[in-house]
Structure 1
Amino acid sequence: MSQTVFRPITPEILIASKPFTRFGFLPWGGRSTFIFLPSNELFIVVSTPLDERTRTSLHEFAGTEWESKVAYLLAPDDEHTLYTKEWKKAFPSAQVIASKTTNLPDIDIHNLSTIKIQLFGQLVTHELAVLHVPSKTLIEADLLFNLPAKEQYSKGKAGWFGSLIAKGIHVDGWAHKFIVSGGAGKGPAAIQTGKDASVVASWDFTRIIPCHGEVIEKDGKTAWNKAYGALQAASNEKKTA
């Protein structure tokens, strides 16, 4: 029985949430996001497998001919490529969007007026932040976490020890700032990450759909600035120095 939960966020956005355990004990959760573009194409931020439950849900969401509409497959960072390859094999005509350091083809993005993408090239995982402009929704993988992953484990079971630790991995939690600052590094790399974060902060969004943890339905910009405010401020000071 599939443990994946599907939920429409807006008429144009569907999410697929499932259990995923990190380090063998931490209930991290996994999530793909499916976006129906005005061009009648599907833009997919891939982080879950293409199974029969997914096919059925996309049939319900995007219509009987949904397979012919799969146009873009985005790997949100270097660590989220396994399922992207699976989807690409099933839909060979779809264009893959990934950072230049993956072994997936890197492409230019044309005619996607409803989508913005920002690369965090100085991070080890080379994150891609995605904005769906009409719904003011930011989609990201390992830039911001909002654990515990309640929706992603609604059909699964999480261990008590990992769940206890997960309670601190959100923008107001004790562990999140160490994850962000540690990932950003120091010196020029951290300054560039702050600049990249400032680009995202300049976007108009209220909702954040993370790959790991609960969807932030409102005040997403506030959550982003809590996570990256210090790095953004440091990069701005560097520019004015």
Structure 2
Amino acid sequence: MSDIVIREVTPAITIFSKPFARFHIFPFGGRSTAVKLENGSSPPLPSDYKKEYPAAKVVGVEPLEAKKKDVLTFDGLYGKDAPNTTYGFEPEYSKSKASSKVPFFGTFGPHGKVHKYFLWSQSEDKRAMERDAQTVAQWDFERVIMCHGDVIEKDGNAVWREAYKWFLEGKP
């Protein structure tokens, strides 16, 4: 079974995380985030994924069956299928056991110098990044869901400021 972790962060946000190491050394991991829109819908798919990925399972909730009857064929429906029905991905609802430790450097995270150096070195337009980091630093938020790394559950603004410290201070 793959090491994909599926987690409902809030009723409107679900994340799909998969650990992997860049160059088989640096623990990056990857993440997709699904966001339920205010009107109750999810963003539309750009194509029929079932046709593109025939092995994929389309699983939804019972009310979607009527709404999408001309668009999707479901392999399973929560609320319609028997309560003990499994769809094959249930073991993936867990925290990953993968390590975020980088050999010789320690943990790759927003508080470390390695992370700050990586952000700085990857920025092509330092002034634009400084401007954007300042903008985000002024927002009021607790949680940060990144494409790579752990979800920051609390003190998100403080963690953001630490991770982007070189941009906020205008120096490496």
How far apart, in 2, do the equivalents of 1:203 and 1:177 lie?
20
Which runs of structure 2 are paired with 1:58-207 in the superposition (5 Å)?
59=60, 65=64, 151=95, 153-154=96-97, 163-164=102-103, 167-184=106-123, 189-207=125-143
Any gaps of 5 or more consecutive residues in structure 2?
A: 45-52, 73-93
Is the alpha carbon distance of 1:166 and 1:214 closer, same or farther for their aligned partners in structure 2, counting shifts above 3 Å?
farther
Distance 1:5 1:175, change over 3 A: same
Shift >3 Å, 4+ stretches: 50-53, 162-167
Find the counterpart in structure 2 of residue 6 from structure 1. Answer: 6
TM-score, normalised to structure 2's length?
0.64
> Quick check: which has more Rg, 1 or 2?
2
Please give the alpha-carbon distance, in whole angstroms, between the structure 2 residues aligned to 1:175 and 1:204: 26
Structure 1 vs Structure 2: percent identity of aligned residues?
Answer: 34
Unpaired stretches in structure 1, ≥5 consecutive residues: 45-49, 70-90, 92-149, 236-241
In structure 1, the residue corresponding to 2:154 is in which secondary structure?
A: coil
Aligned to 2:15: 15
**Distance 1:166-1:211 versus aligned 2 partners, 3 A rule:** farther
Higher strand share: 1
User: By how many angstroms is 1:14 displaced?
Assistant: 0.7
2:9 maps to a residue whose letter is: I
C-alpha distance in 2, partners of 1:169/1:40?
36
Aligned partners of 2:18, 2:105: CA distance in 1, in Å?
A: 16
What is the root-mean-square deviation of aligned Cα atoms in Å?
3.4
How far off its partner does 1:165 sit? 5.3
Contact 1:6 1:16 in 2 (8 A): yes
Displacement of 1:167 in angstroms is: 3.8
**Counterparts of 1:65 and 1:165 in 2: how far apart (Å)?**
50
Aligned equivalents of 2:39 and 2:167: distance in 1? 37
1:215 to 2:151 alignment: yes
- Displacement after TM superposition at 1:166 (Å): 7.2
Which secondary structure does the structure 2 equivalent of 1:42 belong to?
Answer: coil
CA deviation profile, 1:31-89 (whole Å, cap 9, x unmatched): 11111111122149xxxxx7746x44xx25xx6528x79xxxxxxxxxxxxxxxxxxxx
Residues 1:41 and 2:41 are matched in the alignment: yes
TM-score normalized with structure 1 length: 0.48
